[in-house]
């Protein structure tokens, strides 16, 4: 289970990198399309980069974060539950910032900064799983 914890945390960190790449491709494609004459108005639904960013950010990373939290209870990673909760909380905050940024675009800056925090915390969680297993709680039979 420690390996599963480590892989899930690592996949979340990789997911953040994929998110940055997808949104960059999305907006550079939109800028190129505008240079080619495309009009971006309220009917513009984005391009494949925007779609990838949306799918990874609203479905894949939250699912991985939820799985990480569940696995953290069984993985015996020292402070593993705590780090999984940090990751999960940052993912929830990330989604909240994304939706809030549509009403107040300046919140998009917090969305970007929080992504970097998520990248760091997921990486730290993965590194904790690479260490020694957490000591198991003593059973009541052993102390009786």
pLDDT digits 0-9 by tens, 37-59: 999 998 888 899 999 999 999 99
pTM for the whole thing? Answer: 0.88
Own/partner pairs for 85-94, CB < 8 Å, 24+ apart? 86/121, 86/125, 87/9, 87/12, 87/118, 87/121, 87/122, 87/125, 90/114, 90/117, 90/118, 90/121, 91/12, 91/61, 91/62, 91/65, 91/118, 94/57, 94/61, 94/118
DSSP SS3 for 38? coil
pLDDT at residue 131 in the model: 77
Question: What is the per-residue pLDDT for 133?
Answer: 67
The list of the chain residues with pLDDT below 70 reads 132-144
The pLDDT, as a whole number, for residue 132 is 64
Domain residue extents for the chain: 2-39+46-130
| Other CB atoms within 10 Å distance of the CB of residue 132 | 9
């Amino acid at each position: 289970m420690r390996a599963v914890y480590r892989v899930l945390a690592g996949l979340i960190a990789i997911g953040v990198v994929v998110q940055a790449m997808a949104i960059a491709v999305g907006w550079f494609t939109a800028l190129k399309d505008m240079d080619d004459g495309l009009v971006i108005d309220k009917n513009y639904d984005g391009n494949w980069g925007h779609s990838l960013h949306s799918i990874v950010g609203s479905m894949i990373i939250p699912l991985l974060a939820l799985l990480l939290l569940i696995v953290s209870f069984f993985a015996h990673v020292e402070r593993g539950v705590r780090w999984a909760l940090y990751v999960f909380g940052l993912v929830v905050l990330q989604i909240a910032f994304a939706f809030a940024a549509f009403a107040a675009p300046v919140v998009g800056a917090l969305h970007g900064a929080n992504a970097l925090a998520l990248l760091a915390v997921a990486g730290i969680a993965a590194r904790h799983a690479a260490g020694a297993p957490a000591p198991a709680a003593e059973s009541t039979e052993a102390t009786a």
